Amino acid sequence: MNHHPSSSKAGHCIVCGRSFPLSKLHKAAALRPHLYEMIAEEVKDCTPESLICDEDLARFRRRYVERLLEEERGELTSLDQRVLDSFEKGTLTVQTGTGDGDRKESFGERVADKVASFGGSWTFILSFLGILFIWMGVNVVGLFQTPFDPYPFILLNLVLSCLAALQAPVIMMSQKRQEDKDRLRAENDYMINLRAELEIRQLHEKIDHQMAKQWERLAEMQQIQIELLEKRYGSGQA
């Protein structure tokens, strides 16, 4: 009767010492050279044959990327830290459904947006000019027996002043909200670009590492073929 020991299906992490299935462990020799050097500096017993779990590997990868960013950019911002957190956990950089842009707008905010949108259109300008001409024309031509706002149109000036006093803060409210939206959008774009840069850099390092390993294997296979040919021709001559 054959027994399959559990040790053949599990291994111990060199960092935390816990036991994990082999599917959740990574061989140190398969890691990128700089990442392996960082682990070896902290864990003295680490060898190319050592195993490291997903959690510890993600933690060392985050520290490695953080060190690279600090060397290139200096002090890291809160946005950089958020990107590193998402990079370590393998989650999305920009979370949906939790931002300020997804909350329900109040009635005042919707009114402010409508007023700002209408106040900055040609429809408002042409309509307002039409009302002004009609107002002044009615009072100058004298359609009524007694003009309600004779020249110099004091009531019209009062209405225009009140309109400007009310319209300006409403437009400023809408502009402030738009600036907040633009700032959030710019932050999201920055985090997405930084995450893409980190992913591409990691991919390049993996490809370079795999290419180096393949070249080593090809060199070993070539050396073995040369030795076999030397033995064959050597035995044939003998």
Contacts of 88 by beta carbon, 8 Å cutoff, 6+ apart: 58, 59, 61, 62
Chosen domain end from 73, 88, 111: 73
Clarify whether residues 64 and 109 are in a common domain: no
The half-sphere exposure of 133 on its side-chain side, counting CA atoms within 13 A, is: 6
Give the pLDDT confidence score for residue 98 in this predicted structure.
43
pLDDT tens string, the chain, 238 residues long: the values are: 444 444 457 888 888 888 888 878 888 877 777 778 888 888 888 888 888 888 888 888 888 887 877 777 777 778 788 887 777 676 666 654 444 545 677 888 888 888 888 888 899 889 989 999 999 888 888 776 778 888 888 999 999 999 888 888 888 888 888 888 888 888 888 888 888 887 787 777 667 666 766 777 787 788 887 777 777 766 655 5
Clarify whether residues 120 and 66 are in a common domain: no
Give the pLDDT confidence score for residue 114 in this predicted structure.
85
Clarify whether residues 104 and 179 are in a common domain: yes
Assigned domain for 222 exists? no
Give the pLDDT confidence score for residue 170 in this predicted structure.
86
Clarify whether residues 171 and 131 are in a common domain: yes
The answer to whether residues 149 and 139 touch, using CB atoms and an 8 Å cutoff, is yes
Assigned domain for 38 exists? yes
Clarify whether residues 62 and 105 are in a common domain: no
Domain count along the chain: 2
Assigned domain for 226 exists? no
Assigned domain for 117 exists? yes
Clarify whether residues 15 and 61 are in a common domain: yes
Assigned domain for 68 exists? yes
Give the pLDDT confidence score for residue 158 in this predicted structure.
93
The answer to whether residues 14 and 29 touch, using CB atoms and an 8 Å cutoff, is no
Give the domain range for residue 151. Answer: 100-190
Give the pLDDT confidence score for residue 187 in this predicted structure.
86
Clarify whether residues 52 and 124 are in a common domain: no
The answer to whether residues 57 and 32 touch, using CB atoms and an 8 Å cutoff, is no
pTM: 0.53
Give the pLDDT confidence score for residue 213 in this predicted structure.
67
The answer to whether residues 26 and 51 touch, using CB atoms and an 8 Å cutoff, is yes
Give the pLDDT confidence score for residue 102 in this predicted structure.
55
Clarify whether residues 118 and 176 are in a common domain: yes
Clarify whether residues 49 and 107 are in a common domain: no
